[in-house]
């Protein structure tokens, strides 16, 4: 119980605020249109996900979630969509370890639904069936990142 009280006391001055959420970059390509529309729809979906953090000012950070979705039909790329969903966040009073966790997990978790919706809308407008991306466990990804950093001997930082 004492440890919880100490942790709570340390975090009493902590503040987390979303200042802005925005699309920083969007790209959509259909290299084999219109021929790809006449093929039977049996897609192979590949998702690449990365985050990047930029400190803008004292306690103010930009977090950018990079999502690239490549959908293939056999060897042909049906479409490729890339979204850089960004947010500006204020994080005050966080101990370094908790700050890294917030930037590497909490912020991407907030941004992901926006990126997922943008991708789904673009895919539909591109003439393809709706693409519903599965939820992502950013806490687990962050922990994996920390483990990789420990194994490689480097300091744990946000991706």
User: Whole domain around residue 133: which residue ranges?
Assistant: 17-152
Report the pLDDT value the prediction gives residue 12, as an integer from 0 to 100.
66
The domain total for the chain is 1
Contact yes or no for 101/41 (Cβ under 8 A): no
116, HSE (Cβ side, Cα atoms, 13 Å):
11
Report the pLDDT value the prediction gives residue 154, as an integer from 0 to 100.
56
Report the pLDDT value the prediction gives residue 129, as an integer from 0 to 100.
96
pTM score:
0.84
Residue 97 lies in a domain: yes
Classify 16 as helix, strand or coil: strand
Q: Which of 93, 136, 80 is nearest to 112 (CA)?
A: 136
- List Cα–Cα distances, 18 to 8, 86, 110, 131, 143, in angstroms: 22, 11, 9, 27, 23
Residue 122 lies in a domain: yes
Report the pLDDT value the prediction gives residue 145, as an integer from 0 to 100.
87
CA dihedral sign, ordered 33, 36, 41, 47: negative
Residue 12 lies in a domain: no
Output DSSP code: residue 139: H
Residue 133 lies in a domain: yes
Which residue numbers in the chain have pLDDT < 70? Answer: 1-12, 154-159
Exposure string for 48-73, b = 16+ CB within 10 A, e = fewer: ebebebeeeeeeebbbbbbbbbbbbb
CATH code assigned at 101? 3.10.420.10
Q: Which of 62, 24, 68 is nearest to 49 (CA)?
A: 68
Report the pLDDT value the prediction gives residue 146, as an integer from 0 to 100.
87
Report the pLDDT value the prediction gives residue 10, as an integer from 0 to 100.
55
Mean pLDDT computed over every residue of the chain: 90
Residue 70 lies in a domain: yes
Residue 52 lies in a domain: yes
Report the pLDDT value the prediction gives residue 43, as an integer from 0 to 100.
96
In tens, the pLDDT along 104-150 reads 999 999 999 999 999 999 999 999 999 999 999 999 999 998 898 88
Residue 23 lies in a domain: yes
Residue 10 lies in a domain: no
């Amino acid at each position: 119980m004492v440890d919880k009280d100490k942790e709570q006391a340390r975090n009493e001055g902590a503040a987390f605020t979303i200042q802005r959420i925005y699309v920083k970059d969007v790209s959509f390509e259909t290299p084999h249109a219109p021929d790809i529309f006449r093929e039977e729809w049996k897609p192979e979906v590949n998702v690449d996900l990365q985050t990047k953090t930029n400190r803008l000012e004292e306690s103010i950070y930009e977090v950018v979630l990079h999502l690239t979705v490549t959908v293939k039909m056999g060897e042909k790329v049906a479409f490729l969509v890339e979204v850089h969903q960004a947010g500006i966040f204020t994080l005050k009073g966080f101990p370094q370890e908790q700050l890294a966790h917030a930037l590497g997990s909490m912020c991407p978790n907030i941004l992901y639904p926006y990126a997922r919706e943008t991708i789904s809308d673009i895919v539909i407008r591109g003439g393809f069936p709706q693409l519903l991306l599965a939820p992502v466990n950013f806490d687990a990804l962050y922990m994996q990142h920390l483990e990789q950093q420990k194994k490689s001997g480097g300091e744990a930082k946000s991706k």
